[in-house]
Amino acid sequence: MVFVLDKQKKPLMPCTPRRARLLLARKRAVVHRLNPFTIRLKDRSVQQSTLQPVVLKIDPGSKTTGLALARVETIAEGEVHHALHLAELVHRGEEVRDLLRKRAGYRRRRRSTNLRYRPARFLNRRRPQGWLPPSLRSRLGNILTWASRYQCWVPLVRVDVERVKFDTQLLHNPEVSGIHYQRGELMGWEIRAYVLEKFGRRCAYCGRTETAFELDHLQPRSRGGSNRVSNLALACHACNTAKADRTAAEFGHPEVEAQASNPLKDAAAMNATRYALCDKLRVLGVPITTWSGGRTRWNRDRFGIAKAHCLDALCVGNLAGAKQGRHRTLSLKATGRGRYSRTNVNDAGFPVGYLMRKKQVKGIKTGDRVHAVVPAGFAAYGTHTGRIAVRANGQFRMGNVQGIPARFCRIRQLADGYDYALVETALHG
Ligand SMILES: [Zn+2]
């Protein structure tokens, strides 16, 4: 779908690419932004339009966060969400950590190489309340950036976030929601999510990881074992079959019983970043609802939706239905906006080559999306479109193409810290 703004740049409902092409051809609209594609109507204001409620749905992940924008249709059974836009946000997490570790190494070397005595600084820093490691902060920042960008492009009424992997409240106090709910299908998904997390996604008996898991009753059902989570372990099919109607201790694994009876610490069940995220999202000024991962998987299973980060996001929340539609997923890769370090170093840590102080060369900076038509007679002959890397000598690079002269480059979109690509979304699974 294409995002649509009115003449005052206020968000309207997204339209199909076909309709956007017609509006542009009739000169009723102009291109507002290339990635994600957004048009602006020249003759329409938000007061003249009918808007439908749109929710932003977020499935936070450590490497990739799924994002989905969905139109809400309310029916008797509840809400049906129709996907308008799907995106996957790839974080820099590891990269940030590695760069900071590298910097710490250089500083340590500078401190010791010159043999100048400097007392070690030790435990003399205080971390402020709510401090998060830079790699996690970068993840939060990415999600927040995109949530507020989407708010500028669609009439957003709510944000649905998957906050916890499973609903501990539901697992530990089943009477809260009544026995029917406890024995219901959702409960099964919450239990599965909990046991998977508790046993670290590996078979409790043989330690295999890459396999389909089954829930094993430590005290077998046939000998009066209960369905409580403290009686469940994660097992591969082979171990579960081999164990048959023996208890875990009789099977030769008494330690599994101890592990199963130990409740998973709440701290492990919750994720510090996810809580911080809900806190930060309040700046959007729209209601935020939080849901468990067990419910997401239950929805995905019920509506027969394939496994992908962006489709997981679509399945977050209390739904009566989810419609995926035909969409291509927008892949958003966080690239950062350059670095402070002004030198490259070799493997031994010695500086090799210094980087220029300026960010821009002839008005263009690294990361800008550029269209370049290079005439014959130049090494980089041809038409090139994409992210550019600038050089002080005015001969730029795009991907593997070197030596694109600055004067043939036209900026299409300024660098904004993200790289964009459209990828096919997995079909219904
Ligand atoms: Zn096994």
In the chain, what percentage of residues exceed pLDDT 90? 42
**Cβ pair 361, 397 in contact under 8 A:** no
CA triple 131-132-135, angle to 5 deg: 150
User: What is the rounded CA–CA span in Å between residue 244 and residue 260?
Assistant: 18
Residues 6+ apart with CB under 8 A from 128: none
Match 């509506």 to its residue by tokens.
303
Ligand 1 centroid from CA 225, angstroms: 20
Model confidence over 198-242: pLDDT tens digits? 888 889 888 888 888 888 888 888 888 877 777 888 898 998 899
Q: What is the pLDDT of residue 269?
A: 42
Helix, strand, or coil (residue 420): strand
Give the pLDDT mean for 384-394. 92
Residues 6+ apart with CB under 8 A from 55: 69, 70, 72, 81, 156, 157, 158, 159, 160, 317
Run of H or E including 395: strand 395-398
Give the pLDDT mean for 102-107. 82
Model confidence over 115-138: pLDDT tens digits? 666 666 677 778 888 788 888 889
Ligand 1 centroid from CA 204, angstroms: 7
Model confidence over 256-302: pLDDT tens digits? 888 777 766 544 444 667 788 888 999 999 999 988 888 888 898 88
Q: What is the pLDDT of residue 170?
A: 62
Ligand 1 centroid from CA 205, angstroms: 5
Instruction: State both tokens at 238.
Output: 């082979």
Ligand 1 centroid from CA 207, angstroms: 6
In the chain, what percentage of residues exceed pLDDT 70? 90
Ligand 1 centroid from CA 354, angstroms: 54
Q: What is the pLDDT of residue 115?
A: 66
Q: Regarding predicted confidence, which is higher, 87 or 243?
A: 87
User: What is the rounded CA–CA span in Å between residue 247 and residue 223?
Assistant: 9
Ligand 1 centroid from CA 16, angstroms: 49
Q: CA torsion sign, 276 to 277 to 282 to 283? A: positive
Q: What is the pLDDT of residue 175?
A: 42
User: What is the rounded CA–CA span in Å between residue 5 and residue 13?
Assistant: 8
Ligand 1 centroid from CA 236, angstroms: 4
